[in-house]
């Protein structure tokens, strides 16, 4: 993966549709989990109310943290496994 510094976009040269679908599914799950965790125990907020905040925090996390997955994942793991590891870091941060 390469990061375009001028635009902030991340370019990926991997185009396997099944892998991209799996990553997008896990990305949605990550945002939903973050919304639920942000509103847990707050009677006056629903998970939907935290959506914009969770998306902003995820974008900030991806911009400030390296895009490389943890060291225990190597090149033999699939791109979706590597993306899941990075998103898990966000959920647990």
Highest-confidence segment of 2-6, 12-16, 27-31, 74-78:
27-31
The Cα 12–Cα 10 span in angstroms is 6
Q: What's the predicted TM-score (pTM) here?
A: 0.61
**Burial (Cβ within 10 Å: 0-12, 13-18, ≥19) of residue 3:** middle
Q: Single out the residue of 70, 13, 11 nearest to residue 2, CA to CA.
A: 11
Indicate whether 92 pLDDT > 70. Answer: yes
List, for residues 13-52, the tens digit of each pLDDT value. Answer: 666 778 888 888 888 888 888 888 888 888 888 888 888 8
Q: What is the pLDDT of residues 57-67, one digit of tens each?
A: 888 888 887 66
Sign for the pseudo-dihedral over CA of 78, 81, 87, 89: negative
């Amino acid at each position: 993966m390469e990061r375009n510094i001028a635009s902030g976009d991340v370019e990926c040269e991997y185009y396997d549709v099944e892998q991209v679908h799996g990553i997008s599914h896990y990305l949605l799950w990550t945002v939903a989990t973050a919304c639920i965790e942000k509103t847990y125990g707050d009677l006056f907020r629903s998970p939907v109310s935290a959506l914009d905040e969770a998306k902003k925090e995820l974008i900030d996390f991806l911009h400030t943290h390296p895009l490389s997955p943890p060291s225990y994942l190597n090149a033999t793991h699939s791109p979706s496994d590597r993306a899941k590891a990075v998103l898990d870091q966000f959920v647990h941060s």
